[in-house]
Amino acid sequence: NADMAMYSAKAAGRNNFRFFESEMGEAATVRMKLENSLHHAISRNEFELHYQPRIDLKSMQIVGLETLIRWNHPQLGRIPPLQFIPIAEESGMIESIGQWVLQESCRQLRQLIDRTGRPLRLSVNVSARQLKSKTLVQQVQAVLQEAELPSHMLELELTETALMEDMDISVAILRELKDLGVMLAVDDFGTGYSGLAYLQRFPLDVLKLDRSFVNENAEGAKNLKFIKAFLDLAHALNLSVVAEGVETLEILNYLLEFSCDEGQGYLFAQPLPMDELEIFLKQSDFSMREIPE
Ligand code: C2E
Ligand code: MG
Ligand code: MG
Ligand code: MG
């Protein structure tokens, strides 16, 4: 009986181990597959850029766009950025992907402005590794020149964690970027641990309040107090605030009450490819929408 028990424990253990191993193996295989195909993604034209409108909450007008990358994998279909950006970051490929995103989105913005005459601002996400690359400042300068865009029309979004990794280096690079005249934003604010006091060291223009604060338990009193306190403090520090992930009219009303500067989210618009965005821009005027009290 004891033998039997030991035997089955071993068998179960072995099975568990096998199960675990094959799960791990599968994840690692998918990852390797993604990493390998990422190498050719630019040259094979597999990336696509979508743009999500940013709305000024005073005028209810679209004032800017955020560039969001999409990857159409030939076998695996659409891979979300949260799945492949970390792989691109670890393997170093984010540097060429990031440069492509900057260049391509500035070109597309130039075309949009030429066609529609609307001077929208463009926000581009910049990863930690890109921020530290020695060539970012030159890249930005070259891309703006090529697209004939004034530097204040480009905003770079950096995460708190990217800024905090090597604070002194980050401060120095941000100063150079600021000298060029580009706008600087902190993305996903509230998900890191830094707090506003630390962020004062950086020459920032905009804070983007993470959507986890904006659209989860929006009705919860604690959350609302947090959003209000955050907005007051940010304004005292002369920073403009964008609320991410605005999905409901309820939360929009609170954001208006608390004098939040801009909003972005599915309530206004999904990220769209440039041709669809152009149609959307023609049709949309949020100032005409009725906002219930
Ligand atoms: P992010 O920069 O914070 O971008 C906002 C994300 O929230 C986008 O997800 C957007 O589609 C989504 N979103 C917008 N409105 C709403 C809403 O109302 N509700 C909800 N639930 N979600 C909303 P997406 O496009 O999947 O991108 C995810 C993240 O991937 C981005 O977060 C950014 O960190 C990264 N990413 C995307 N494009 C790039 C890129 O070109 N370069 C780099 N380095 N990172 C990128
Ligand atoms: Mg962003
Ligand atoms: Mg964000
Ligand atoms: Mg986010």
**Cα distance between residue 291 and residue 105, in whole Å:** 32
Which pLDDT score is estimated for 12?
52
**Cα distance between residue 212 and residue 3, in whole Å:** 53
Say yes or no: CB of residue 127 within 6 Å of ligand 1: yes
Give me 48's structure tokens. Answer: 């696509």
| Total residues belonging to the chain | 293
> Per-residue pLDDT tens for 29-39?
888 899 999 99
Task: Find the range with the poorest average confidence among 168-172, 187-191, 194-198.
Answer: 194-198
0.95 exceeded by pTM: no
- Give the position, in ligand 1's atom list, of the atom nearest the Cα of 130: 44
As a whole number, mean pLDDT of residues 11-18 equals: 52
Split at pLDDT 50, 70, 90, the class of 222 is low
- Give the position, in ligand 1's atom list, of the atom nearest the Cα of 127: 44
Where would I find the beta strands (DSSP E) of the chain? 47-56, 61-73, 77-79, 121-125, 154-159, 183-189, 206-209, 240-243, 262-263, 272-273
Say yes or no: CB of residue 85 within 6 Å of ligand 1: yes
Tell how far the Cα of 244 is from the centroid of ligand 3, in angstroms.
Answer: 6
Asked if residue 160 lies in contact with residue 191, where contact means CB atoms within 8 angstroms, the answer is yes
**56 pLDDT higher than 80:** yes
**Cα distance between residue 10 and residue 133, in whole Å:** 51
Which pLDDT score is estimated for 214?
82
Q: What percent of the chain has pLDDT over 70?
A: 86
Task: Find the range with the poorest average confidence among 9-13, 144-148, 177-181, 271-275.
Answer: 9-13
Tell how far the Cα of 188 is from the centroid of ligand 4, in angstroms.
Answer: 5
**93 pLDDT higher than 50:** yes
| Closest-approaching ligand to the CA atom of 68 | 1
As a whole number, mean pLDDT of residues 141-158 equals: 98
CB within 8 A of 184, min separation 6: which ones? Answer: 155, 156, 158, 174, 177, 178, 202, 203, 204, 205, 206
As a whole number, mean pLDDT of residues 170-175 equals: 96
Better-predicted residue by pLDDT, 150 or 284: 150
Which pLDDT score is estimated for 288?
56
Split at pLDDT 50, 70, 90, the class of 287 is low
Which pLDDT score is estimated for 5?
47
> Per-residue pLDDT tens for 231-267?
998 999 999 999 999 999 999 999 999 999 999 999 9
Q: Which of 55, 125, 158 to mutate to test the pocket of ligand 1 (most atoms within 8 A of CB)?
A: 125
As a whole number, mean pLDDT of residues 94-122 equals: 97
Query: How many CB atoms are located within 10 Å of the residue 293 CB?
Result: 3
Split at pLDDT 50, 70, 90, the class of 26 is confident
Say yes or no: CB of residue 236 within 6 Å of ligand 1: no
Give me 286's structure tokens. Answer: 């949020």
Say yes or no: CB of residue 129 within 6 Å of ligand 1: no
Q: What does pLDDT average to over the chain?
A: 89
ipTM above 0.90, yes or no: yes
Split at pLDDT 50, 70, 90, the class of 217 is low
Tell how far the Cα of 190 is from the centroid of ligand 2, in angstroms.
Answer: 13
Split at pLDDT 50, 70, 90, the class of 109 is very high
